[in-house]
């Protein structure tokens, strides 16, 4: 797999998983950019972290973003407000594979209160290695306002 630049972010609920995901991505030779809070932080605001990571991806400072909160839901809602961001909240590897191949998702979100850490690592690996199929799937993305940028 080609080396990627990945922006990772987490709130207090996802910080421990973020550390594991950074270590795993680095072990695969990817470059990582760390956003959000460190493990042990008592409170933080996921929309602010999501906006930072989404901006890094939208401005092409990163190839992909990975966002972890308690459920992955808030991060996905917030990231998808940014033009050009296609964030997918995934709880299994098959969803992550389709999120890439059919939806060209450029941000993966996961919930640390929903899935185990080993599964989160497997989901991230599946997401990062799967190519977009293009074709009719690209045409469909063009029908979603803001999905392909402004």
The rounded distance, in Å, linking the Cα atoms of 17 and 148 is: 29
Asked if residues 42 and 12 have their Cβ atoms less than 8 Å apart, the reply is: yes
> Shortest Cβ distance from residue 13 to ligand RB5 (Å)?
4
Q: Is 90 a catalytic residue?
A: no
Q: Is 69 a catalytic residue?
A: yes
Q: What is Dmax (Cα atoms) for the chain? A: 45
Choose which of 50, 67, 71, 115 interacts with ligand RB5 (CB under 6 A). 71
Asked if residues 69 and 78 have their Cβ atoms less than 8 Å apart, the reply is: no
Among the residue ranges 32-40, 69-77, 82-90, 127-135, the one whose residues contact ligand RB5 (CB under 6 A): 69-77
> Shortest Cβ distance from residue 3 to ligand RB5 (Å)?
30
Nearer to ligand RB5, 30 or 112 (CB): 112
Asked if residues 62 and 7 have their Cβ atoms less than 8 Å apart, the reply is: yes
For the chain, give the number of residues: 150
Joined together, the tokens standing for residue 87 give 């964030």
The reply on whether position 91 binds ligand RB5 by CB under 6 A is no
- Which residue is at the shortest CB distance from ligand RB5? 74
Task: Choose the catalytic residue: 12, 30, 69, 90.
Answer: 69
Among the residue ranges 26-34, 66-74, 80-88, 94-102, the one whose residues contact ligand RB5 (CB under 6 A): 66-74
The reply on whether position 80 binds ligand RB5 by CB under 6 A is no
The order of strands in the sheet holding 107-111 is 31-36, 5-10, 64-69, 107-111, 87-89
Q: How many CB atoms lie within 10 A of CB 150?
A: 6
Nearer to ligand RB5, 32 or 71 (CB): 71
Instruction: Just list the catalytic residues.
Output: 69, 102
Judged by the rule CB under 6 A, the positions of this chain that interact with ligand RB5 are 11, 13, 46, 69-71, 73-74
């Amino acid at each position: 797999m080609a080396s990627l630049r990945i922006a990772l972010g987490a709130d207090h609920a996802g910080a421990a998983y973020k550390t594991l995901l950074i270590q795993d991505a680095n072990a695969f030779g990817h470059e990582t950019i760390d956003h959000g809070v460190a493990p042990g932080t008592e409170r933080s605001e996921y929309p602010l972290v999501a906006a930072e990571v989404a901006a890094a991806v939208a401005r092409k400072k990163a190839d992909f973003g990975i966002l972890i909160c308690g459920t992955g839901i808030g991060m996905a809602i917030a990231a998808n407000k940014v033009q050009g961001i296609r964030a997918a909240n995934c709880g299994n590897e098959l969803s992550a594979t389709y999120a890439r191949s059919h939806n060209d998702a450029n941000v993966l979100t996961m919930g640390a209160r929903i899935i185990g850490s080993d599964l989160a690592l497997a989901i991230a690996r599946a997401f990062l290695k799967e190519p977009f199929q293009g074709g009719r799937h690209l045409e469909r993305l063009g029908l979603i306002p803001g999905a392909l940028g402004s």
